[in-house]
Structure 1
Amino acid sequence: MCLAIPVQIKEIIDENTAVAEISGLKKTISTALLEDVKVGDYVILHVGYALQKIDPEEAQKTLALFASEASATGEPA
């Protein structure tokens, strides 16, 4: 099973690399597949690569759904 998740860009390192955050966890990711990524953007992340920019409202809905499912199962969000 593959999972792509929305993450928020927190820092731009160079034109192909950024730091993204989800649930307080920060990770260095590749932005080589996208153009014009800025701090504050939400992107879909899969195996370390930002695949697509996503609307912030849609990202929040998806993250809220993940959090809801995690709390229902007792798993950490």
Structure 2
Amino acid sequence: MCLGIPARLESIDEAADDCFRTGKISFGGISRTVSLAMLTEAKPGDYVLVHAGVALSLISEQEATTVFEYLKESGELGEEGLAEEET
């Protein structure tokens, strides 16, 4: 089973072609760069589902909020973001 985490797409690196395009995402207070190769239609402000550094699909803001609320309730999302992502 894999876990996809919702994130807001903050910016896109426009220098790369669609196959190698990356973007900066934010989730739970953490920012990361992810591959956008599978989501050529994604644009800043969209919410995406991310797994293993790849944005897999577009999701609604409501769906992203619901997942983050669940993660907070379950203790998987701390004050600084996802518990396993803390450094």
Q: What is the TM-score normalised by the length of structure 2? A: 0.76
Q: Which residue of 1 aligns with 2:52?
A: 47
Aligned counterparts of 2:54 and 2:4: Cα–Cα separation in 1: 10
Aligned pairs, number: 74
Q: What is the TM-score normalised by the length of structure 1? A: 0.85
Residue deviations 1:32-72 (CA, integer Å, cap 9, x gap): 0012211111100000000000011111111111111117x
Q: Which residue of 2 aligns with 1:11?
A: 11
- Percent sequence identity over aligned pairs: 32
Aligned counterparts of 1:64 and 1:38: Cα–Cα separation in 2: 24
Instruction: Pick from 47, 62, 72 the counterpart of residue 57 of structure 1.
Output: 62
Q: Which runs of 5+ in 1 are unaligned?
A: none
Q: Which amino acid aligns with 1:28?
A: T
Aligned counterparts of 2:66 and 2:59: Cα–Cα separation in 1: 11
Aligned counterparts of 1:19 and 1:53: Cα–Cα separation in 2: 15
RMSD (CA atoms)? 1.7
Q: Which amino acid aligns with 2:32?
A: K
Aligned counterparts of 1:38 and 1:67: Cα–Cα separation in 2: 27
Instruction: Pick from 72, 77, 83 the counterpart of residue 67 of structure 1.
Output: 72
